């Protein structure tokens, strides 16, 4: 077994050229493969490798956080949790995650399907492109993963063994615990924000009730192992064409609350919404923002519909067993509705937290980051921060989807 070595465009063909699972898909002489490093994420190396038979993606973990450098070490073992997550996603929500062709644990690398002509959803939203069935696909994906990774579906031993397996992944959840849930709400060292946003940030950080609510949500996030999460379902973890939607990059996968992925995805749609005035001409702005609100509504609606469907057709786990409710002819539909309402409220609160961290903590979103006029950026970020705060403080007021869209429209006018 070779010791770990980070790949580069010069060494990749020699390292992977005789791996049958790779060579057969790329084809031809490895010496003639075209290799590009395309990683623009925060953590890893990503290569596209092309030959006479086709292309694959090679993703390799680095032993440190790429966006910060070697001063922030990060264990390579995260790659095998990403691999486990991809395998589970393929089973629980077929056709959405990229197919895995090869995994090398010591080298922390995964060779997988090259998605083409898909591009990163965030870039599409910034440039005003529409994607058919976007909200529906993401809502359905979240519902399938939430339901089928839980003890509503899995047997108790299977679920517990999997929770045990994923509990070995300690470094990655720690990033989310600090960067997402804690840093935005105080002057943490790695934080940054647009200077003109300071008055809004100061006010937010004085809100003790808000901070307490966020910490309660963090408690839920760390202690609740309801289901296997994607863990980082932002618009950079979604690739799409105008008619196909795929979810990539589950390296933040862990067991956690059912509402988390849904909330994070919706937050990223809302950030796309609030940043649009900087990216669209006046005549395109209103219809495009209206489309994003439709995506959010579709996402929540499809999540509920798919979850209800699975509740009725696939409830084989220890939770809400059919015999318990149906022996006397009762149905458990009310229990499902109550659970969905709880998930909706938590998703809205997690959504608010993700809206905050992307403008206040370390890892920002291009949606706002690429707005060069900092005064305009701060104005749009303020709308986003204030809506996020409302969602955390009072999710019950916005669980109705019309109220949620009205709230976004109201902040968009401020």
Q: Which of residues 13-42 bind Mg ion (CB under 5 A)?
A: 41
From residue 334 to residue 373, what is the string marking binding to ligand SR1 with x (rule CB under 6 A)? ----------------------------xx----------
Q: Are 56 and 114 in contact (CB under 8 A)?
A: yes
| Distance, CA of 53 to CA of 180 (rounded, Å) | 42
Least distance in angstroms from the C-beta of 357 to ligand SR1: 7
| Distance, CA of 96 to CA of 101 (rounded, Å) | 15
Least distance in angstroms from the C-beta of 216 to ligand SR1: 20
For Mg ion, the closer of residues 183 and 249 by Cβ is 249
Number of residues lying near Mg ion (CB under 5 A): 2
Number of residues lying near ligand SR1 (CB under 6 A): 10
Strands (DSSP E) contained in 96-140 are 100-104, 109-113, 119-120
For ligand SR1, the closer of residues 176 and 276 by Cβ is 176
By CB under 6 A, residue 179 contacts ligand SR1:
yes
CA 307 to chain centre: 19
Q: Which of residues 225-284 bind ligand SR1 (CB under 6 A)?
A: 232, 252
Segment lying near ligand SR1 (by CB under 6 A), choices 48-56, 174-182, 301-309, 388-396? 174-182
Q: Which of residues 51-90 bind ligand SR1 (CB under 6 A)?
A: 65
Write b or e for each residue in 145-165: b if 16 or more Cβ atoms lie within 10 A of its Cβ, otherwise e: bbbbbbbbbbeeeebeebbee
Segment lying near Mg ion (by CB under 5 A), choices 147-155, 247-255, 358-366, 406-414? 247-255
Nearest to 118 by CA among 131, 127, 105, 108: 131
For ligand SR1, the closer of residues 111 and 267 by Cβ is 267
For Mg ion, the closer of residues 237 and 384 by Cβ is 237
Which residues are CB-neighbours of 302 under 8 A, at least 6 positions away? 135, 136, 139, 140, 143
Q: Are 386 and 216 in contact (CB under 8 A)?
A: no
Residue with smallest beta-carbon separation from Mg ion: 249
Nearest to 99 by CA among 86, 81, 118: 86
Least distance in angstroms from the C-beta of 251 to ligand SR1: 8
Least distance in angstroms from the C-beta of 215 to ligand SR1: 18
Nearest to 344 by CA among 404, 255, 409, 406: 404
CA 289 to chain centre: 21
Interacting residues with ligand SR1 (CB under 6 A): 42-43, 65, 175-176, 179, 232, 252, 362-363
């Amino acid at each position: 077994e070779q010791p770990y070595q980070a790949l580069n465009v010069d060494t990749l063909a020699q390292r992977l050229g005789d791996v049958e699972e790779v060579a057969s898909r790329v084809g031809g002489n490895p010496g003639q493969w075209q290799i590009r490093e395309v990683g623009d994420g925060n953590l890893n190396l990503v290569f596209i490798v092309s030959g006479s038979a086709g292309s694959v993606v090679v993703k390799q973990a680095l032993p440190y956080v790429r966006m910060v450098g070697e001063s922030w070490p990060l264990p390579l073992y995260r790659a095998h949790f990403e691999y486990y997550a991809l395998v589970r996603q393929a089973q629980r929500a077929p056709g959405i995650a990229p197919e895995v062709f090869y995994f090398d644990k010591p080298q922390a690398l995964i060779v997988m399907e090259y998605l083409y002509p898909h591009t990163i959803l965030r870039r599409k939203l910034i440039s005003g492109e529409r994607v058919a069935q976007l909200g529906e696909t993401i809502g359905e994906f979240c519902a399938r993963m939430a339901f089928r990774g839980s003890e509503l579906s899995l047997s108790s031993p299977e679920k517990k063994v999997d929770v045990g397996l994923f509990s070995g992944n300690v470094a990655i959840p720690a990033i989310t615990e600090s960067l997402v849930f804690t840093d935005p709400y105080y002057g943490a060292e790695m934080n940054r924000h647009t200077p003109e946003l300071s008055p809004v940030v100061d006010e937010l950080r004085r809100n003790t009730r808000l901070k307490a609510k966020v910490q309660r949500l963090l408690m839920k996030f760390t202690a609740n192992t309801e289901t296997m999460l994607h863990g980082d379902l932002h618009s950079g973890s979604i690739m799409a064409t105008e008619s196909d939607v795929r979810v990539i990059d589950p390296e933040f996968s862990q067991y956690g609350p059912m509402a988390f992925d849904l909330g994070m995805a919706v937050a990223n749609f809302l950030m796309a919404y609030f940043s649009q005035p900087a990216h669209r001409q006046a005549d395109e702005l209103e219809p495009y923002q209206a489309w994003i609100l439709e995506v959010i509504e579709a996402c929540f609606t499809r999540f509920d519909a798919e979850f209800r469907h699975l509740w009725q057709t696939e409830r084989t786990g220890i939770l809400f067993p059919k015999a318990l409710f149906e022996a006397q002819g009762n149905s458990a539909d009310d229990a499902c509705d109550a659970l969905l309402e709880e998930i909706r409220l938590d998703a809205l609160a997690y959504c608010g937290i993700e809206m905050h961290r992307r403008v206040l903590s370390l890892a920002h979103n291009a949606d706002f980051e690429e707005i060069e006029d900092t005064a305009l950026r701060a104005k749009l970020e303020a709308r986003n921060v204030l809506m996020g705060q409302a969602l955390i403080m009072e999710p019950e007021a916005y669980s109705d989807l019309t109220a949620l869209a009205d709230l976004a429209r109201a902040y968009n006018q401020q």
